């Protein structure tokens, strides 16, 4: 070989240096392995040590956010002190008690307002709000939407700031007349027993509505005015899916203010409670979808003295059993609210079992660990499993009119709450698949959501091996359909991290300020009021509150507000942290709310309104 060629720089790499590069590689590989092992060792040490703080990277927290301006600080302190006075307590009790005494019940499948006298109780609510909150009715503009929906506006002095919405609903779940005698205090008494206010709506949702109104009425009385416009949106049929209330309110708000016109929306939703020794607040930042599926069976009638093997109701019962034998799978997935909530729990809970904490943190990169969390925790917890998966519940069954007549038709309504990674179409497809095989074995035709899945021709051809003759026919018909035409896709998720999460950080800080200032053993309100800047307070672990992304298993009026803002928070600062003190009876007998919990909701809205007045970042 030509020595000049072999020694040229361009060829040297190709000919001579292999041995030298092998040497470098041999030296480098052990270093890389040691570094990797050290990294893994640090990782496994961290997840095995319960004292390691993961909060910097997992479920990062913000400081408590207190009103800071000279305009708000003194008044906020005064308001907080006023909450503890007997005079204000009596005022607050009276406002909520009076609203509870109006039986503003909403029912499924009611005709529009004006066509059913049951709506008229909403008019009584309006009269009450006018009488009890005169300053609001003098100061705010008011628009009524579809007769009973309410939109109030208090126009701010700074038009460059986006407005925000505080939402609530005027209606309540009907009280079953058969249960009235089992209530400790009558359901529409608004009775105060010295500790709690009792009655339908006390917790869902009249305490929030009254807290909003009383807070604003008090601020007006104190000559406070907002820089940022405040909008109130009160629906009147949330308990019946909001089809006449919030649905129309959402359209009216969009027409008036435009798409994405609001900085944020706060409606009913999550609260705070103890989770493994630590208090967690869980504002709802997403919602599951919703679909009511009607399962209807028809077959020939006749006299019951000559019955077939299966009556129509018998067929329906078999199909219902098939659904309940095949529940939707519960599969925990990363990048979902339930998963992020678990990560937050692992990062901050003081008493979380070590094995669960380790599995949750490993699940970020290990599918095996993810399945372990799913199996050992999610599937063992009724609430979490309902949150993660699509649920199904047969809630309505109807069929037959006479004991000696075979029913020609029978139906059931299956209520689904659809997991956030699925859709209405996927739910409909799975329901169809669940019963198709059984329908064939029962010799029933099947039409699902407008499609002939098993047509009559299936039983009149040789395709059905169970038939001995090509002239045989089906014994009945099944139809699957959407029941009430108010199906709902899963909601868009509110940002809780990254550049779009400033409203989330604002709400988180407000929650913490409310929680700490309401407790004598917490941070003193005046501590921050005099500082005027961000302070990292050294709060003892057992006194801290952690704010985590949350989600409820149901839906709220916000399902009609998606176009108004990306920042929807379903949270009303309900206190569920103290076991026996929890407000009970939501949607059932003995609904009540402890006075202290109600007062803390008022404090929350006071802090929120003043903080929003100062925030210029959104």
32-48 as b/e: b if 16+ CB within 10 A:
eeeeeeeeeeeeeeebe
**Alpha carbon 549 to chain centroid distance?**
10
Judge whether 198 and 298 are in contact, CB under 8 Å: no
How many Cβ atoms sit within 10 Å of the Cβ of residue 13? 11
Choose among 594, 291, 281: nearest CA to 417.
291
CA distances to 135, 216, 232, 432, 495 from 560, rounded to whole Å, are: 29, 25, 15, 28, 18
* Rounded-to-integer distance, Cα 374 and Cα 488, Å: 26
CA distances to 522, 524, 533, 611 from 527, rounded to whole Å, are: 11, 5, 11, 16
Contacts of residue 31, defined as CB under 8 A and 6 or more positions apart, other chains included, come to: none
How many Cβ atoms sit within 10 Å of the Cβ of residue 430? 16
- Neighbour-count burial of 513, counting CB atoms closer than 10 A to its CB (0-12 exposed, 13-18 middle, 19+ buried): buried
Q: Is 193 a catalytic residue?
A: no
First to last CA, the chain: 73
Q: Of 205, 217, 237, 238, which is the active-site residue? A: 238
Three-state SS string across 330-347, please?
A: CCCCCCCHHHHHHHHHHH
Question: How many alpha carbons lie under 13 Å from residue 330 in its C-beta half-sphere?
Answer: 23
522: left (phi over 0), alpha (psi -120 to 50) or beta: beta
Determine phi and psi for 417, rounding to 5 degrees.
-110, 115
Three-state SS string across 369-433, please?
A: HHHHHHHHCHHHCHHHHHHHCCEEEEEEEEECCCCCEECCEEEEEEEEEECCCCCHHHHHHHHHH
Helix (H) or strand (E) holding 454: strand 451-454
Choose among 286, 376, 344, 291: nearest CA to 570.
286
Q: Is 600 a catalytic residue?
A: no
Three-state SS string across 528-583, please?
A: HHCCCCCCCCCCCHHHCEEECCECCCCCCHHHHCCCCCCCEEEEEEEECCCHHHCC
Judge whether 343 and 358 are in contact, CB under 8 Å: no
Q: Which structure tokens are listed for 271?
A: 């609260």
Residues at the annotated binding site for Zn(2+)? Answer: 169, 204, 239, 267, 587
Q: Of 105, 171, 205, 268, which is the active-site residue? A: 171
Residues annotated as part of the active site: 171, 238
């Amino acid at each position: 070989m030509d020595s000049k060629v072999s020694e040229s720089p361009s060829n040297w790499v190709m000919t001579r240096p292999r041995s030298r590069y092998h040497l470098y590689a041999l030296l480098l590989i052990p270093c890389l392995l040691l570094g990797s092992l050290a990294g893994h060792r640090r990782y496994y040490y961290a997840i095995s040590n319960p004292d390691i703080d993961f909060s910097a990277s997992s479920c990062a927290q913000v400081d408590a956010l207190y009103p800071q301006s000279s305009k708000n600080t003194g008044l906020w302190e005064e308001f907080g002190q006023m909450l503890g006075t007997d005079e204000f307590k009596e005022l607050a009790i009276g406002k909520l008690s009076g609203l509870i005494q109006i039986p503003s019940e909403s029912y499924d499948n009611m005709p529009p307002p004006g066509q059913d006298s049951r709506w008229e109780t909403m008019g009584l609510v309006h009269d009450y709000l006018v009488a009890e909150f005169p300053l609001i009715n003098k100061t705010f503009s008011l628009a009524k939407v579809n007769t009973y929906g309410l939109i109030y506006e208090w126009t701010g002095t700074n038009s460059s700031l986006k407005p925000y919405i505080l939402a609530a609903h005027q209606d309540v779940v009907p009280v079953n007349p058969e249960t009235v005698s089992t209530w400790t205090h009558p359901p529409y008494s608004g009775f105060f027993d010295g500790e709690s206010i009792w009655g339908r709506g006390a917790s869902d949702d009249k305490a929030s509505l009254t807290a909003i109104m009383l807070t604003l009425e008090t601020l007006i009385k104190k000559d406070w005015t907002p820089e940022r416009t405040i909008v109130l949106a009160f629906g009147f049929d949330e308990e019946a899916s909001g089809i006449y209330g919030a649905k129309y309110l959402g359209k009216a708000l969009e027409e008036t203010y435009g798409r994405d016109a609001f900085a944020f929306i706060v409606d009913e939703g999550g609260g705070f409670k103890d989770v493994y020794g630590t208090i967690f607040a869980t504002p709802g930042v997403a919602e599951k979808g919703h679909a009511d599926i009607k399962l209807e069976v028809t077959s020939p009638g006749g006299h019951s003295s000559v019955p077939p093997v299966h009556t129509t109701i018998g067929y329906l019962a078999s199909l219902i059993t098939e659904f309940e034998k095949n529940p939707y799978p519960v599969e925990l997935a990363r990048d979902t609210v339930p998963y992020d909530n678990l990560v937050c729990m692992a990062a901050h809970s003081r008493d979380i079992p070590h094995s669960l904490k380790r599995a949750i943190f490993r699940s970020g990169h290990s599918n095996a660990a993810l399945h372990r969390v799913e199996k050992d925790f999610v599937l063992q917890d009724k609430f979490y499993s309902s949150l993660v998966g699509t649920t199904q519940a047969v809630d309505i069954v109807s069929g037959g009119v006479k004991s000696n007549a075979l029913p020609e038709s029978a139906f059931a309504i299956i209520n689904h709450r659809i997991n956030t990674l699925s859709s209405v179409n996927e739910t409909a497809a799975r329901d169809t698949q669940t019963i198709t095989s059984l329908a064939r074995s029962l010799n029933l035709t099947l039409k699902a959501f407008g499609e002939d899945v098993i047509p009559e021709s299936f039983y009149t051809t040789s395709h059905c091996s169970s038939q001995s003759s090509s002239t045989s026919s089906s014994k009945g018909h099944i139809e699957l359909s959407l029941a009430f035409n108010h199906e709902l896709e899963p909601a868009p998720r509110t940002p809780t991290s990254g550049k779009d999460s400033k409203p989330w950080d604002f709400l988180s800080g407000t929650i913490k300020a409310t929680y700490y200032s309401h407790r004598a053993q917490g941070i003193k309100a005046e501590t921050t009021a005099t500082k005027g800047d961000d302070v990292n307070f050294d709060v003892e672990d057992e006194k801290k509150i952690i704010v985590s992304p949350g989600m409820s298993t149901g839906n709220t009026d916000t399902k009609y507000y998606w176009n108004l803002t990306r920042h929807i928070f379903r949270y009303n600062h309900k206190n569920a942290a103290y076991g026996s003190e929890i407000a009970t009876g939501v949607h059932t007998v003995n609904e009540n709310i402890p006075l202290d919990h109600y007062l803390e909701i008022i404090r929350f809205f006071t802090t929120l309104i003043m903080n929003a007045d100062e925030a210029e970042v959104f």
